[in-house]
């Protein structure tokens, strides 16, 4: 059972990795909420975890929001070489964003984590989310490179491909380390929605700067996508609130104090 779970997780992450090569990050990242729906439904039938009315409503909101984003998502930019991605990554706007992210991560790791990491969940979650936005941009570059390589245009002859690979490895290691610390320190039902919201917002923001996803869309399409994203966030919070209610309902009430 453990190996079956591990293998399916690996397959899922490989498929998620491949998705970034064929679709914009503004579409792929919010759709990660669908995994929460599948987990909630399977837990209801297999693990006999009761799905309350708020959980059902959360699932419906996630589906509605995801459908809205899919129907109005921007088209993927045509890229014929990793060097084109490198040109986008070295534009002043994204360089400024990357510098700010690295500065904030170093500040959080050196100054904030030792002092407030055990009491304020935004410290660890902030590190994971900031690094995650750079991870997704690197993963997208790697995915495009692999896709073009499989099509017969070897992209690993370019040093930029290896640079993106190193960036992804470093960012993933930092992200996994502090995400594990966050999960060890705080309640998962609280960490999961907060991390999902911060990670998704920062990833979409980074994608807007680097790939300029919204340049080809009109105002109504952009507003519809934002509304779909907010709908997904609402559904995600409801789902995790339901989990928290389920966990609290199984615990014994605290003893009354003498006062």
| CA atoms of 31 and 137, how far apart (whole Å) | 16
Max mean pLDDT among 18-22, 70-74, 100-104 falls in 100-104
Q: Which pLDDT score, from 0 to 100, does residue 242 have?
A: 61
Share of the chain above pLDDT 70, in %: 91
Average pLDDT over residues 86-91: 92
Alpha carbon of residue 82 to chain centroid: 23
Please list, residue by residue across 199-221, b when 16 or more beta carbons sit within 10 angstroms of its beta carbon and e when fewer do.
bbbbbbebbbbbbebbeebeeee
Residue 65: predicted pLDDT: 84
Q: State the pTM of this model.
A: 0.79
Q: How far apart are the first and last CA of the chain?
A: 50
Looking at the predicted structure, is the pLDDT value of residue 97 above 90?
A: yes
26 and 204 in contact (C-beta within 8 Å)? yes
Please check the confidence at residue 108 and state whether its pLDDT lies above 90: yes
Confidence check: pLDDT of 253 > 70: no
Per-residue pLDDT band for 258 (boundaries 50, 70, 90) equals very low
Is the pLDDT score of 166 beyond 90? yes
pLDDT higher than threshold 60 for residue 149: yes
Q: Is the pLDDT of residue 170 over 60?
A: yes
Question: Which of the four pLDDT bands, split at 50, 70 and 90, describes residue 131?
Answer: very high
Question: What Rg value do the Cα atoms of the chain yield, rounded?
Answer: 20
* Mean of pLDDT values over 35-45: 76
């Amino acid at each position: 059972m453990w190996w079956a779970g591990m293998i399916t997780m690996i397959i899922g992450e490989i498929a998620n990795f491949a998705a970034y090569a064929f679709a914009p990050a503004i579409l792929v990242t919010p759709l990660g909420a669908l995994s929460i729906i599948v987990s909630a439904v399977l837990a209801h039938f297999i693990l006999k975890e009761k799905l309350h009315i708020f959980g059902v409503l959360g699932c419906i909101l996630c589906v509605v929001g995801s459908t809205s984003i899919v129907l109005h998502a921007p088209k993927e930019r045509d890229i014929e070489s990793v060097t084109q991605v490198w040109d986008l990554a070295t534009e002043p706007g994204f360089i400024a964003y990357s510098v700010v992210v690295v500065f904030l991560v170093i500040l959080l790791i050196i100054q904030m984590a030792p002092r407030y990491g055990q009491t304020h969940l935004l410290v660890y979650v902030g590190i994971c989310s900031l690094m995650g936005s750079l991870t997704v941009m690197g993963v997208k570059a790697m995915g495009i490179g692999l896709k073009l390589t499989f099509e017969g245009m070897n992209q690993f002859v370019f040093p930029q491909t290896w640079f993106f690979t190193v960036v992804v490895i470093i960012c993933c290691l930092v992200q996994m380390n502090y995400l594990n610390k966050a999960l060890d320190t705080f309640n998962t039902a609280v960490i999961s929605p907060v991390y999902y919201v911060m990670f998704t917002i920062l990833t979409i923001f980074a994608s807007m700067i680097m790939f300029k996803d919204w340049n080809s869309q009109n105002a109504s399409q952009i507003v519809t996508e934002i509304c779909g994203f907010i709908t997904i966030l609402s559904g995600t919070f409801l789902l995790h609130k339901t989990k928290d209610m389920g966990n609290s309902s199984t615990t014994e009430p605290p003893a009354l104090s003498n006062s």
